């Protein structure tokens, strides 16, 4: 190979490597995955107790001031006292989805049983609480 060609190839390789490095270094760090906040059921149990839910709700099917929480995130819902029937919906008439249960917990609601005072929880606390409620099956 002639020296000139060898040098040209060498320069091209160095330039290529530099461009590659600059491209990688200049890239902004990967954005955190967007989407729903991951909930942790163990932390959710603490939220349930600290937010005072357990004063009015058991974590079984047993009735306290409100229904027991077992089944609250299952399609059939919790066990209601005789005479109370929401036709598969939440006490406020919303479909039984996790989003609607979260909204129910944040708002003050009046149903056939009584009034539940809303609780101001952060998005992380709510995600943890919902993860915990998911474990309460009947
Ligand atoms: C002062 C008592 C009280 C407290 C505290 C309370 N609730 Fe309630 N909750 C009620 C009552 C009463 C109802 C029933 C409303 C109705 O059906 O008339 C209810 C209903 C609910 C329902 C709807 C159940 C269903 O599907 O029918 C959910 C979910 C719920 N509560 C979750 C919670 C959570 C989670 C907390 C804590 C952040 C909490 N509650 C704190 C009294 C309370």
pLDDT in tens, 56-91: 999 999 999 999 999 999 999 999 999 999 999 999
Burial 46-82 (b: 16+ CB within 10 A, else e): ebbeebebeeebbbeeebeebbbbbbbbeeebbebee
Of 39, 57, 107, which is best to mutate to test ligand 1, by the most ligand atoms within 8 angstroms of its C-beta? 57
Give the position, in ligand 1's atom list, of the atom nearest the Cα of 115: 12
- Cα(44)–Cα(24) distance, rounded to whole angstroms? 40
Question: Structural domain boundaries of the chain?
Answer: 41-135
Where helices occur in the chain by DSSP H, the ranges are 3-26, 41-50, 53-56, 98-106, 123-135
Name the more confident of 13 and 35: 35
Closest by CA position to 95, among listed 118, 71, 75: 75
In this prediction the pTM is: 0.81
How many A from CA of 51 to the centre of ligand 1?
A: 12
How many A from CA of 116 to the centre of ligand 1?
A: 5
CATH fold for domain 41-135: Cytochrome Bc1 Complex; Chain D, domain 2 (1.10.760)
Q: Report how far Cα 62 is from the mean position of its chain's Cα atoms.
A: 26
pLDDT tens digits, 97-123: 999 999 999 999 999 999 999 999 999
Q: Read off φ and ψ for residue 110, nearest 5 degrees.
A: -115, 120
Long-range contacts of 48-56 (CB under 8 A, 24+ apart): 48/129, 48/132, 48/133, 51/119, 51/121, 51/125, 51/129, 52/119, 53/119, 56/116
pLDDT tens digits, 24-56: 555 655 656 667 789 999 999 999 999 999 999
Question: What pLDDT is stored for residue 26 in this prediction?
Answer: 56
Of 53, 66, 97, 138, which is best to mutate to test ligand 1, by the most ligand atoms within 8 angstroms of its C-beta? 66
């Amino acid at each position: 190979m002639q020296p000139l060609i060898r040098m040209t190839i060498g320069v091209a390789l160095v330039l290529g490597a530099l461009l590659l490095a600059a491209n990688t270094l200049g890239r902004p760090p990967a954005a955190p995955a967007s989407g729903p906040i991951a909930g942790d059921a163990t932390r959710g149990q603490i939220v349930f107790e600290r937010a005072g839910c357990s004063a009015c709700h058991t974590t079984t099917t047993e009735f306290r001031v409100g229904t027991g929480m077992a089944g609250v995130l299952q399609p059939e819902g919790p066990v209601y006292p005789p005479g109370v029937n929401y036709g598969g919906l939440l006490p406020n008439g919303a479909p039984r989805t996790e989003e609607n249960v979260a909204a129910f917990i944040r708002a003050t609601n009046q149903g056939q049983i009584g009034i539940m005072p809303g609780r101001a929880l952060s998005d992380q606390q709510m995600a943890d609480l919902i993860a915990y409620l998911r474990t309460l099956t009947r």
